[in-house]
């Protein structure tokens, strides 16, 4: 009962804090609104015409010419490669069904998808005139093909780590050198483990409340279907909050720093990690994944973003439990570190 009572009072303290309302509720909702207003300009639902070169004598040339969103340039291989190097075309398709591109992006993904479908149709004996390439390729989505969705998932992932703000405030409130409440607490024989556990419950409830509010807001006002597997998504969000709470405890116990400075540092760090994970658009994320893959592999916000995208859009669970264990490990490590630090802290006077 004492543990639940402490969790209840910690909830009341956080609800009265302006920082909680702004950073965990107002700021994410503001970002969600801005993303929805700008999503139409980056939405990939409407296909733009793609300039593509096709080698003379290609067996599928008539099929390529029949696709509405492709402007086909029939040419020799040497001329086609020159056009590709001059950025006059997005890709060049050789007579033996090889696609040559200079970059990796949405239009290149479309060309690869169309080419793969043609190969499958040839094998199956399906006439090209009976096939809708537009409907088919939009059903085959990868991690690079929908910038707006990546940004929304990154925003949700960012809000899951805002739970650390509550744990920073709560752990700082019991330090004698930072608050009168902390001086009174350290004069009592109350268990440090029970205290951390109670704080974890309070911070977790606050975090889930803000996460659910942002998700409901997106589900009501955003036309895109974000969640096909809400059960596994909720478990991912839950564990991400636990990870963030552990990190917040560790930050809150850093000595000789004010609560405001710790909070601002945490805000900047989380936003920076969210931008790396795709909130600034997929281009930066793709660049990092290609040249510095370890960065987003270790980035917990990026792990949540990618896993959320895979299980809801790609129906891919290959790294789901790996991400769950990684996040849970982070939370457990920092929780134990904070418990040890609390027990070892001593003060000359209280």
Structural domain spans, the chain? 2-42+146-344, 50-139
**Integer Cα distance of 233 and 309 in angstroms:** 10
Contacts of 272 (CB under 8 A, 6+ apart): none
Question: Whose CA is closest to 339, among 225, 136, 228, 194?
Answer: 194
Architecture of domain 50-139: 3-Layer(aba) Sandwich (3.40)
Q: What is the DSSP letter of 129?
A: G
Angle at 170 between CA 168 and CA 173, to 5 degrees: 105
Q: Give one DSSP letter per residue of 104-120, joined into a string.
A: -SHHHHHHHHHHHHHHH
Q: 3-state class of 99 per DSSP? A: strand
Q: 3-state class of 345 per DSSP? A: coil
The model carries a pTM of 0.67
Please report the sign of the dihedral spanned by the C-alpha atoms of residue 86, residue 91, residue 94, residue 98: positive
Q: How confident is the model at residue 143 (pLDDT cuts 50, 70, 90)?
A: very low
- Note the pLDDT tens digit of each residue in 152-176: 898 999 999 988 888 887 777 666 5
Which residues are paired to 92 by β-bridges?
53, 100
Average pLDDT, the chain: 79
Region of 176 on the Ramachandran plot (φ > 0 left; ψ -120 to 50 alpha; else beta): alpha
Residue of higher predicted confidence among 9 and 29: 29
Question: Whose CA is closest to 30, among 255, 236, 214?
Answer: 214
Instruction: Match 């997106």 to its residue by tokens.
Output: 218
Q: 3-state class of 323 per DSSP? A: helix
- Note the pLDDT tens digit of each residue in 179-227: 555 555 565 666 767 777 887 888 898 889 889 999 999 888 877 678 8
Q: Are strands 91-93 and 50-55 parallel, antiparallel or unpaired?
A: parallel
**Integer Cα distance of 60 and 117 in angstroms:** 12
At residue 137, does pLDDT exceed 70? Answer: no
Instruction: Match 């990546």 to its residue by tokens.
Output: 150
CB 101 within 8 A of CB 93: no
Q: Give one DSSP letter per residue of 150-190, joined into a string.
A: HHHHHHHHHHHTTHHHHHHHHHHTT-TTT-HHHHHHHTS--
């Amino acid at each position: 009962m004492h543990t639940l009572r402490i969790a209840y009072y910690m909830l009341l303290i956080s609800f009265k804090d302006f920082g909680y309302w702004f950073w965990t509720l107002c700021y994410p909702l503001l970002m969600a609104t801005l993303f929805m207003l700008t999503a139409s300009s980056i939405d990939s639902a409407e296909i733009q015409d793609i300039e593509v070169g096709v080698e003379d004598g290609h067996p599928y040339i008539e099929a390529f010419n029949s696709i509405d969103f492709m402007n086909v340039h029939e040419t020799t291989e040497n001329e086609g490669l020159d056009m590709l190097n001059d950025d006059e075309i997005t890709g060049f398709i050789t007579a033996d069904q090889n696609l040559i591109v200079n970059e990796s992006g949405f239009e290149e993904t479309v060309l690869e998808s169309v080419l793969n479908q043609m190969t499958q149709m040839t094998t199956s004996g399906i006439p090209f005139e009976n096939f809708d390439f537009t409907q088919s390729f939009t059903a085959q989505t990868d991690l690079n093909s929908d910038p707006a969705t990546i940004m929304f998932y990154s925003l949700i992932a960012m809000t899951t780590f805002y739970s650390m703000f509550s744990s920073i405030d709560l752990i700082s409130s019991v330090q004698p050198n930072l608050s009168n409440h902390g001086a009174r607490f350290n004069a009592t024989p109350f268990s440090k483990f029970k205290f951390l556990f109670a704080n974890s419950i309070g911070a977790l409830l606050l975090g889930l409340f803000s996460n659910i509010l942002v998700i409901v807001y997106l589900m009501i006002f955003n036309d895109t279907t974000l969640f096909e597997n809400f059960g596994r998504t909720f478990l991912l969000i839950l564990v991400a909050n636990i990870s963030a709470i552990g990190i917040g405890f560790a930050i809150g116990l850093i000595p000789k720093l004010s609560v405001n400075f710790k909070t601002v540092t945490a805000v900047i760090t989380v936003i920076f990690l969210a931008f790396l994970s795709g909130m600034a658009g997929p281009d930066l994320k793709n660049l990092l994944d290609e040249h510095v893959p370890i960065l987003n592999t270790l980035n917990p916000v990026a792990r949540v973003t990618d896993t959320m995208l895979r299980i809801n859009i790609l129906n891919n669970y290959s790294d789901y439990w790996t991400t769950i264990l990684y996040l849970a490990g982070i939370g457990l490590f920092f929780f134990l570190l904070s418990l040890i630090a609390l027990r070892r802290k001593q003060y000359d006077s209280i």
